[in-house]
Amino acid sequence: MKKVYICSPCRGDYENNIQRAKEYSRAAVEKGVIPVTPHIYLTQFMDDNVPEERELALKIGSELVLGCSELWAFGIDHPSAGMAAEIELAKAHGIPVRNGFEAISELKPDEEPESGEEDDPNIGSVTIHLPARGGSIHVHLDGATILTLADRLISDPGVHIEIGG
């Protein structure tokens, strides 16, 4: 399994940001990758408000970025300062940087698209724009994913499907 660095905000709305990081990590596991999300566990024993501890945590995060195959950035359009540094580090070392929301909306690597889905150029897609601090978050879903979700809803009426959580 490949390791993917989960890059998302920590500071600011601290508790919600940590919760979102957990959700992104869960979605990554569901995509068949190992999420590396240091701000979930480093915050358990380090204080982000203590400058020395924050600097050490950022150094640890940098080392972890370098050990990953990809970096998935959640909020790539408006990254925090810490995220921007991680993104630049990954790029400087040739580590692919992906929009995290796009990465988690794709099929699992071991899943095959149903016949005809990838051949139909008219299937379309949906982009959901969600308000966020400093702008908005854009979630892009390809038509094949939407059809898969629709099939699941039809086959199991009343089911609740969560994506990325």
pLDDT tens digit sequence for 48-66: 889 999 899 999 999 999 9
- Relative to beta strand 135-142, strand 70-73 is unpaired
- 96 occurs within a structural domain: yes
- 79 occurs within a structural domain: yes
Structural domain span for residue 135: 3-155
Residue in this structure with the two tokens 């998302």, named with its chain if needed: 8
pLDDT tens digit sequence for 5-38: 999 988 778 888 899 999 999 999 999 999 999 9
- 160 occurs within a structural domain: no
CATH code of the domain covering residue 126? 3.40.50
Task: State the total domains in the chain.
Answer: 1
- 121 occurs within a structural domain: yes
Phi, then psi, of 83 in degrees rounded to 5: -65, -45
- 164 occurs within a structural domain: no
- pTM of this structure: 0.65
- 165 occurs within a structural domain: no
